[in-house]
């Protein structure tokens, strides 16, 4: 009998002897029958298996639950290689050595069970109509004492299992399904792009060079002094070079790397569906391919329709068969920021903002003159005896990058107007000449039970999200069943529906091509962002073409230039983004040199300029966040749920404890020295 004593608090792994294990016992683990039948095939031919007791069935897998031992009947559960849970039972004539083996079973042990099928009396919640009568059972590998300790977490919430035991998480049905769905989506993507759209899958190098593309890079040292590779943030430059190589349609499911702060939808290494098309004269040609891809993925794996925001403000279902034109509606960057305060709005909610510039001017910061309000109608039931508190998340400093909006509850009739005087007295805003309180209150139609948030923004916001944009995001999470847009179905309107069953897609377009450089980006205590309007950085990347009508502004007013960029947003998640590229080498050089003023641009981007100057055709492309897409399909907000071995919030892989330190002798080979004072050299 194995030792099953549970050690206190800390989880520890089984320590193994340094002596050679028993030969017979060990080699027996390598000699076992192969599983010939699946759960599905048995169900499809159940009568055949039930009627023929001589037909032997072998199931290989893991012990799913603790075995129940009875004098006349013992039973346990095996989770097979496909994740199905099947009960196995003993009978009175089961050999004693098999019964003894069953008594020793521990959860998560790898086993092989052989026997015959018999009918099973279904208990509540069970679906398998049969069980396996054991004639032979082999333990292929024991599990250590950690597995029983973690068993309750495994069944209750597998995400709560400690990350160092990720392989136990991955054995559960949730993660088995997640990664299997991910695999099938990848297969569909490949089949669709290759067979339906004539794309060629091409792998690009992972050892790239250091270039300024936005996020921090991971550098890879070499054994040549001061020579480094960089892991690619995307295959952007390689795929543009491919457009100069005679391949008109490229794609790959590409690994990318960014050394940036981590969140639930970010990892230091991630995967994207990357594609590029040449000889395109319109962004719509790329957008149509992606729409076809998204609609087929949603139809097969979500089995739900996709909606867009209609002219009436209601949600309208997208016809899945018509790909002759762009079905996803466009939302301009300016409209998104003005109405929803963010460039990736969740359009399932009809919460939008009201501009109060006809009544007030903000005086706290002249660069943010526009006063705006967001109204949460019927957010609570007013109580005349006590003042209702605002939900903590709406006013929590930690929820906002810098400043937060002023938030008020409407508990009674006086509250409808009291907030105006309070904000004027705080020197937050001042009335304009056209201010009329009665007209304002009539138009706002505030009622007891409402919550309002008031803040400011710039005319063209570079602050993204704005304070109200973040407030809107929080409010949608706090009140998931309120303020849903109606669904328009021919002549009927549906007002109540499960929010998670509806997906709303939109293209966000007309981004500013450049942003002013933010001077205090790292200063979280500064209430307002501060910009240097004489220095520019690319809103997305420096290879994006401008709107043709804005071409002259490149020389006179770069901040007025809009880009040929397009982001695909679904339910408030930026799923992907792309653009028409600059294929003219002179224009690309002008952007590097005269607008972005990139030092040594020849060294950093000379290879691209050369490729463009060799007759490179016009081209455009897009990258789709594969991890985010898969997470949305399974209904998760975290991409960790669809990645086999993710890093934690500190960028650490707890399974193998990476990253790790490296010996001084190894570092010397790479001309690297670590400063023991924790200062950057």
Strands 360-362 and 514-518: unpaired
Name which residue leads in pLDDT, 523 or 504: 504
Residue 385 has pLDDT above 80, yes or no: no
Can you tell me the distance from the alpha carbon of 626 to that of 253, in angstroms, rounded to the nearest whole number?
A: 8
- Give the alpha-carbon dihedral of 503, 509, 513, 518, to 10 degrees: -40
**Residue in the structure block whose two tokens are 């020389």:** 555
Give the percent of the chain with pLDDT over 90: 70
Quote the mean pLDDT of the chain.
Answer: 90
User: To which CATH superfamily is domain 178-305+531-643 assigned?
Assistant: Bira Bifunctional Protein; Domain 2 (3.30.930.10)
CB neighbours of 587 closer than 8 A, spacing ≥ 6?
A: none
**pLDDT band at residue 2, thresholds of 50, 70 and 90?**
very low
- Give the alpha-carbon dihedral of 71, 75, 76, 82, to 10 degrees: 160
Q: List phi, psi (to 5°) of 609.
A: -60, -40
Residue 80: count other Cβ atoms within 10 Å of its Cβ.
18
Q: In this structure, what DSSP letter does residue 674 have?
A: -
Q: List phi, psi (to 5°) of 343.
A: -90, 10
Does this chain's domain 23-143 share its CATH topology with 178-305+531-643?
A: no
Q: Which among 231, 224, 183 has a CA at the least distance from the CA of 204?
A: 231
* CATH class of the region 23-143: mainly beta
**pLDDT band at residue 8, thresholds of 50, 70 and 90?**
very low
Return the minimum-mean-pLDDT range out of 11-25, 350-364, 431-445, 454-468.
11-25
pLDDT tens digits for range 312-329: 899 999 876 544 445 799
Domain boundaries, the chain: 23-143, 178-305+531-643, 351-483
| pLDDT for 9 | 37
pTM over cut 0.95: no
């Amino acid at each position: 009998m194995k030792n099953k004593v549970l050690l206190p608090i800390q989880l520890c792994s089984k320590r193994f002897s340094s002596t050679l294990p028993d030969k017979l016992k060990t080699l027996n683990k390598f000699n076992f029958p192969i599983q010939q039948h699946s759960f599905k095939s048995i169900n499809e031919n159940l009568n055949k298996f039930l009627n023929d007791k001589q037909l032997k069935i072998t199931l290989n897998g893991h012990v799913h639950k603790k075995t129940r031992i009875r004098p006349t009947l013992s039973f346990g559960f095996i989770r097979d290689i496909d994740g199905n849970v099947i009960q196995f039972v003993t009978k009175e004539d089961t050999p004693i050595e098999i019964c003894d083996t069953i008594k020793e079973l521990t959860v998560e042990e790898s086993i092989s069970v052989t026997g015959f099928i018999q009918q099973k009396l279904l208990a509540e919640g069970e679906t398998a109509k049969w069980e396996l009568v054991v004639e032979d059972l082999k333990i292929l590998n024991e599990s250590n004492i950690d597995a029983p300790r973690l068993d309750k977490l495994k069944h209750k919430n597998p995400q709560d299992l400690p990350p160092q035991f990720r392989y136990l998480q991955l054995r559960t049905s949730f993660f088995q399904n997640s990664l299997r769905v991910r695999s099938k989506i990848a297969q569909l993507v490949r089949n669709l792009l290759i067979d339906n759209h004539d794309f060629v899958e091409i792998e690009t190098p992972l050892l790239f060079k250091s270039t300024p593309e936005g996020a921090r890079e991971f550098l890879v040292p070499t054994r040549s002094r001061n020579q480094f590779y960089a892991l690619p943030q995307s295959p952007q430059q390689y795929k543009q070079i491919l457009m100069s190589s005679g391949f008109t349609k490229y794609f790959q499911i590409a690994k990318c790397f960014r050394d940036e702060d981590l969140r639930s939808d970010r990892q230091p290494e991630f995967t994207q569906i990357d594609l590029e098309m040449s000889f395109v004269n319109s962004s719509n040609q790329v957008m149509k391919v992606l729409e076809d891809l998204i609609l087929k993925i949603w139809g097969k794996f979500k089995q739900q329709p996709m909606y867009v925001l209609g002219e009436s403000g209601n949600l309208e279902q997208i016809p899945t068969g018509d790909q002759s034109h762009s079905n996803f509606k466009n939302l301009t960057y300016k409209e998104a920021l003005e109405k929803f305060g963010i460039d990736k709005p969740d359009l399932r909610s009809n919460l939008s903002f009201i501009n109060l510039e006809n009544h007030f001017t903000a005086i706290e910061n002249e660069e943010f003159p526009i006063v705006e309000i967001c109204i949460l109608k019927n957010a609570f039931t007013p109580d005349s005896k006590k003042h209702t508190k605002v939900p903590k998340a709406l006013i929590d400093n930690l929820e906002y990058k810098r400043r937060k909006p002023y938030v008020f509850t409407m508990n009674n009739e006086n509250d409808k107007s009291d907030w105006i005087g309070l904000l004027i007295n705080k020197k937050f805003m001042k009335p304009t000449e056209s201010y009329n309180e009665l007209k304002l209150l009539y138009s706002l139609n505030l009622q007891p039970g409402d919550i309002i948030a008031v803040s400011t923004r710039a005319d063209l916001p570079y602050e993204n999200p704005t304070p109200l944009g973040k407030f809107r995001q929080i409010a949608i999470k706090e009140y998931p069943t309120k303020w849903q847009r109606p669904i328009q179905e021919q002549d009927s309107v549906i007002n109540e529906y499960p929010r998670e069953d509806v997906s709303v897609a939109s293209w966000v377009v007309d981004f500013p091509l450049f942003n002013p450089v933010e001077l205090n980006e790292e200063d979280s205590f500064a209430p307002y962002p501060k910009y240097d309007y004489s220095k520019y950085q690319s809103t997305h990347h420096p290879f994006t073409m401008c709107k043709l009508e804005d071409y002259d502004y490149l020389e006179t007013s770069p901040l007025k230039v809009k880009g040929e960029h397009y982001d695909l947003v679904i339910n408030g998640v930026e799923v992907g983004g792309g653009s028409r590229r600059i294929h003219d080498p002179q224009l690309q050089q002008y952007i590097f040199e005269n607008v972005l003023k990139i030092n040594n641009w020849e060294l950093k981007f000379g290879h691209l300029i050369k490729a463009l100057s060799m007759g490179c055709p016009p081209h455009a492309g897009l990258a789709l966040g594969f991890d985010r897409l898969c997470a949305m399909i399974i209904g998760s907000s975290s991409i960790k749920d669809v990645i086999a071995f993710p890093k934690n919030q500190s960028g650490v892989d707890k399974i193998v404890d990476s990253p790790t330190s490296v010996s001084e002798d190894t570092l010397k080979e790479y001309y690297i020295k670590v400063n023991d004072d924790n200062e950057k050299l």
